[in-house]
């Protein structure tokens, strides 16, 4: 199965700062990659699909880029509600797998 490795494990930033999260795949997944946000006690929410497309109702401050094996999620200016855990997930082959997550915490 394809292993997704996210970095860093934790990102400590202040509101208004820019967040850059990385996801690296053990083999190419093309652009079949999504990003999810998870807040404590909730199910994940789809943010980005096919590497760079924002899902419905997702603010423009969220953007995704990359292809092949290297992907980035950027939050241009952190809002208080953005402090959460973010996961990448591929659908290139079965089984779909997730990265281990990046926690974005308030500095």
Interface residues with another protein (CB under 8 A) are 1, 34, 36, 41-46, 49-50, 53, 55, 87, 89, 91, 94-101
We find the least distance from the C-beta atom of residue 15 to another protein, in angstroms, to be: 26
Distances (CA, A) of 6 to 72, 80, 99, 106: 10, 22, 6, 19
**What whole-number distance in Å separates Cα of residue 91 and Cα of residue 24?**
14
We find the least distance from the C-beta atom of residue 56 to another protein, in angstroms, to be: 8
We find the least distance from the C-beta atom of residue 102 to another protein, in angstroms, to be: 11
């Amino acid at each position: 199965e394809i292993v997704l490795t996210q970095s860093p494990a934790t990102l400590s930033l202040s509101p208004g700062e820019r967040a850059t999260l990385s996801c690296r795949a053990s083999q190419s997944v093309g652009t079949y990659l999504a990003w999810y946000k998870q807040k404590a006690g909730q199910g994940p929410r789809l943010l980005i699909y096919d590497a760079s497309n924002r899902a419905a109702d997702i603010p423009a401050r969220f953007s995704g880029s990359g292809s092949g094996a290297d992907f980035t999620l950027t939050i241009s200016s952190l809002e208080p509600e953005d402090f959460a855990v973010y996961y990448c997930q591929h659908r290139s082959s079965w089984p779909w797998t997730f990265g281990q997550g990046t926690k974005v915490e308030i500095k």
